[in-house]
């Protein structure tokens, strides 16, 4: 009972908003290790597993993978080391999320191989499934030289689709945006369907709006060489309220608006 109570508190803390990037970065390692250790003792705690998977994924994206992108032009070797670390953190997040999902649904991974139709995600586990799919896809994106990992992309897509079937509006459009990115990158995916997912994400977006526009710029405009759309969507991302504004946004919005600014500053190198 004591462990469960602490797990509840840590799960709630993991969902708390924090708009100070430096404070979040410095505090994250302690929180990650503590919550991960507790999760290993309470493996059936769905909300803590969701918090741990989400926190590892966000930390890897905001403070490791993003920094690797920023230093690529000045130190490519260091950037590669950081991307390898980010991939390991994404894989760690995915392991925790899938372990919790498999505990309640044994054989889930095998079921995903048959497509999303044979998988049912309970409403209470949609958030956990979202982070499992997001971390899985992120790890795959940084492992293009590892065919065994890239081969799992259809499974990550199927998991995201199954979660979407259970709750299409999850995360104020975050899940739909993830599917838009996956649709744009997967073999056989179409721009039309990807745009439909992004439109759905924008329709439900509140504080996730900046992330959706950045995802559209990187998943649709950049690969197609559409500089005008790339710039337009990034400028729309910057219109999302930031921490200094009324109705201040959370950490994720701060990260995504910073990324939008960096991408705009790097536009001549990207096109």
What is the block-wise mean pLDDT of the chain (271 residues), using blocks of 10 residues?
41 52 73 86 85 93 95 96 97 96 92 90 95 97 91 96 96 95 94 97 88 96 96 94 49 89 96 94
Quick one: fold of 168-271? 1.25.40
Would you say 39 and 96 are in contact if contact means Cβ atoms under 8 Å apart? Answer: yes
Q: Which helix (H) or strand (E) holds 141?
A: helix 126-141
Does residue 45 sit in helix, strand or coil? coil
Instruction: Assess whether the region 1-104+114-148 and the region 168-271 belong to the same CATH fold.
Output: yes
CA within 13 Å, CB half, 40: 7
Classify domain 1-104+114-148 by CATH architecture. Alpha Horseshoe (1.25)
Position 42 scores a pLDDT of 79
Position 23 scores a pLDDT of 67
- As to burial, measured by CB atoms within 10 angstroms (0-12 exposed, 13-18 middle, 19+ buried), residue 257 is buried
The torsion angles phi and psi of 34, rounded to 5 degrees, stand at: -65, -50
Q: Give the domain ranges of the chain.
A: 1-104+114-148, 168-271
Position 133 scores a pLDDT of 97
- Calpha distance 54→66 (Å, rounded): 16
State pTM to two decimals: 0.89
Position 33 scores a pLDDT of 87
Position 3 scores a pLDDT of 41
Residues 6+ apart with CB under 8 A from 92: 56
Would you say 174 and 136 are in contact if contact means Cβ atoms under 8 Å apart? Answer: no
């Amino acid at each position: 009972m004591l462990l469960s109570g602490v797990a509840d508190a840590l799960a709630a803390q993991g969902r708390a908003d924090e708009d100070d990037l430096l404070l979040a970065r410095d505090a994250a390692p302690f929180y990650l290790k503590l919550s991960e250790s507790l999760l290993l003792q309470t493996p059936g705690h769905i909300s803590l597993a969701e918090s741990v998977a989400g926190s590892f994924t966000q930390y890897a994206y905001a403070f490791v993978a993003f920094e690797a992108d920023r230093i690529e032009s000045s130190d490519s070797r260091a950037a590669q080391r950081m991307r390898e670390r980010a991939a390991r953190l994404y894989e760690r997040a995915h392991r925790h999320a899938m372990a919790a999902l498999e505990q309640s649904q044994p054989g889930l991974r095998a079921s995903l191989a048959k497509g999303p139709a044979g998988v049912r995600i309970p409403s209470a586990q949609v958030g956990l499934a979202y982070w499992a799919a997001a971390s899985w896809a992120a790890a795959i994106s940084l492992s293009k030289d590892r065919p065994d990992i890239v081969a799992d992309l259809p499974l990550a897509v199927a998991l995201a689709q199954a979660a979407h079937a259970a709750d299409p509006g999850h995360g104020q459009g975050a899940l739909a945006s993830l599917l838009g990115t996956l649709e744009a990158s997967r073999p056989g995916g179409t721009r039309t369907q990807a745009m439909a997912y992004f439109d759905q994400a924008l329709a439900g977006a509140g504080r996730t709006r900046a992330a959706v526009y950045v995802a559209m710029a990187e998943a649709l405009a950049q690969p197609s060489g559409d500089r005008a759309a790339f710039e337009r969507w990034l400028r729309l991302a910057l219109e999302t309220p930031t921490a200094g504004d009324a109705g201040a946004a959370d950490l994720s919005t701060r990260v995504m608006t910073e990324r939008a600014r960096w991408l705009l500053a790097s536009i001549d190198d990207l096109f």
